[in-house]
């Protein structure tokens, strides 16, 4: 890789040119990393519903095209810019959408993982240092003049490309012996779900939980609760096919709201003698959020918001409903501080504390990325893993 350092790299990327348009596999140019930036060769990338939402253009204010999507991945450092000290060429790394500079007042506080400068921002589409992009189309000739077009970044990461450039705050070095195929899961979904249980709710052994929505993140919540010794994990989903997978993650009870004659929270209250200790809302639906909140026990019940809410609707709760002692809180990336805490989480996964294999339900080559998107849209995939680049592991 040394012969590419300091040079523009031409490589393949899946470029989104407009909402709901098929991604185009094409040659792009990737600039060298600038000060405090890292250029990474992406090895594997998986597809998350957040990628699907951006591709759909659900939120017009967040639209930016052409753009390289993707934020769950694992890769190898190709080169680093001036000032980068914590990673070097050849290191295996995970790109992180919610960065950690380790220097701002937020990074220095235990209470938050929302770095002042590099926290997740769906509106962001350029690099922090100069407001520019590191991606562009290959040069074409028009009227005797060379012409190329900038391509926007996505969620601090952009991983649907053979090479990407990230702020160094958004790159986490991992154990070179880690199973690379599984490590992309820690860039978003699994860390978000497990962290919501471990870092936000702080679920204790022997307690009861309810998980609303058994997609990848909801199942990661269940897996985190299982690992913490929860005595009962109630899975709620309208898709019965999710239930068999849920059993692998420790789900003990299943509720399909379509089969009920009364509200979900009433059923949960009945079978738990008053409600669960913790509930997790993973669907991004405010009506489901209300059910999750009401399913917790009065006096101490805790609800954690894990899903993304595209609706402009506000919380469907009355202030007086909080007077009974129940609480509700949000979470980003499961509360993990990526550089400080993720390497240890990698070690725990390597030891089998958290099972990663069941989350990868499909594997496809990079050129089949549109098929992978379709699998997710059809609800036939938890995580589809794409091999972006061929490589030889050290």
3-state secondary structure of 19: coil
CATH number of the structural domain spanning residue 289: 3.40.50.720
pLDDT at 17: 96
Asked whether residue 327 falls in the same domain as residue 361, the answer is no
Average pLDDT, the chain: 94
Asked whether residue 175 falls in the same domain as residue 39, the answer is yes
Region of residue 184 (phi > 0: left; psi between -120 and 50: alpha; otherwise: beta): alpha
Quickly state the pLDDT bin for 173 (edges 50, 70, 90): very high
Asked whether residue 202 falls in the same domain as residue 274, the answer is yes
Asked whether the predicted pLDDT for residue 119 surpasses 50, the reply is yes
Asked whether residue 373 falls in the same domain as residue 241, the answer is no
Q: What is the C-alpha to C-alpha distance for residues 44 and 185, in angstroms, rounded to an integer? A: 10
Asked whether residue 46 falls in the same domain as residue 166, the answer is yes
Of all residues in the chain, what percent carry a pLDDT higher than 90?
Answer: 87
Is 146 a domain residue?
Answer: yes
Asked whether residue 310 falls in the same domain as residue 293, the answer is yes
Q: What is the C-alpha to C-alpha distance for residues 44 and 356, in angstroms, rounded to an integer? A: 15
Q: What is the C-alpha to C-alpha distance for residues 381 and 379, in angstroms, rounded to an integer? A: 6
Of 236-245, 361-370, 383-392, minimum mean pLDDT range: 383-392
Of 170-184, 301-315, 322-336, minimum mean pLDDT range: 301-315
Asked whether residue 297 falls in the same domain as residue 360, the answer is no
Per-residue pLDDT reduced to its tens digit, 252-293: 999 999 999 999 999 999 999 999 999 999 999 999 999 999
Asked whether residue 13 falls in the same domain as residue 107, the answer is yes
- Which residue range is the domain that position 135 belongs to? 9-187+356-387
Asked whether residue 136 falls in the same domain as residue 205, the answer is no
Check: CB of residue 87 under 8 Å from CB of residue 95.
no
3-state secondary structure of 14: strand
Is 348 a domain residue?
Answer: no
Check: CB of residue 149 under 8 Å from CB of residue 137.
yes
| Residues 6+ positions from 347 with CB-CB distance below 8 Å | 175
Q: What is the C-alpha to C-alpha distance for residues 20 and 66, in angstroms, rounded to an integer? A: 12
- What pTM was computed for the model? 0.94
Number of domains comprising the chain: 2
What φ, ψ does residue 38 adopt, rounded to 5°?
Answer: -135, 135
Asked whether residue 125 falls in the same domain as residue 72, the answer is yes
Per-residue pLDDT reduced to its tens digit, 39-88: 999 999 999 999 998 998 877 777 899 999 999 999 999 999 999 999 99
CATH number of the structural domain spanning residue 43: 3.90.180.10
What φ, ψ does residue 366 adopt, rounded to 5°?
Answer: -55, -40
């Amino acid at each position: 890789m040394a012969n590419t350092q300091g040079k523009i790299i031409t490589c393949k990327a899946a470029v989104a040119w407009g909402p709901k348009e098929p991604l185009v596999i094409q040659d792009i140019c990737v600039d060298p990393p600038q000060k405090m930036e890292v250029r990474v060769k992406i090895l594997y990338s998986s597809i998350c519903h957040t990628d699907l939402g951006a591709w759909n253009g659900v939120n017009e204010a967040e639209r930016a095209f052409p753009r390289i999507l993707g934020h769950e991945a694992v890769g190898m450092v190709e080169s680093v810019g001036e000032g980068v000290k914590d990673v070097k060429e050849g290191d295996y790394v995970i790109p992180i959408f919610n960065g950690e500079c380790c220097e701002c007042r937020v990074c220095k506080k235990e209470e938050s993982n929302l770095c002042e400068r590099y926290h997740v921002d769906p509106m962001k589409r350029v690099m922090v240092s100069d407001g520019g992009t590191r991606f562009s189309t290959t040069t074409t000739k028009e009227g005797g003049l060379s012409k190329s077009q900038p391509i926007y970044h996505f969620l601090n990461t952009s991983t649907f490309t053979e090479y990407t450039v990230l702020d160094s705050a958004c790159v986490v070095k991992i154990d070179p012996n880690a199973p690379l195929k599984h490590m992309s899961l820690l860039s978003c979904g699994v860390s978000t779900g497990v962290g919501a249980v471990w870092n936000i709710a702080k679920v204790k052994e022997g307690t009861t939980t309810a998980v609303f929505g058994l997609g990848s993140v909801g199942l990661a919540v269940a897996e985190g609760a299982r690992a913490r010794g929860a005595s009962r994990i109630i899975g709620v989903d309208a898709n019965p096919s999710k239930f068999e997978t849920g059993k692998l993650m420790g789900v003990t009870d299943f509720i399909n709201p379509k089969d009920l004659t009364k509200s979900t929270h009433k059923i949960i209250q009945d079978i738990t003698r008053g409600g669960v200790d913790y509930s997790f809302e993973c669907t991004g639906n405010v009506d489901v959020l209300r059910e999750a909140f009401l399913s917790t026990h009065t006096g101490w019940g805790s609800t954690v918001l894990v899903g993304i809410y595209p609706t402009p609707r506000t919380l469907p709760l009355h202030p007086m409903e909080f007077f009974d002692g129940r609480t509700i809180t949000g979470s980003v990336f499961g509360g993990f501080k990526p550089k400080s805490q993720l390497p240890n989480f990698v070690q725990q996964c390597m030891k089998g504390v958290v099972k990663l294999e069941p989350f990868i339900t499909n594997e496809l080559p990079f050129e089949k990325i549109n098929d992978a998107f379709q699998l997710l849209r059809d609800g036939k995939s938890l995580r589809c893993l794409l091999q972006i680049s061929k490589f030889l592991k050290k």
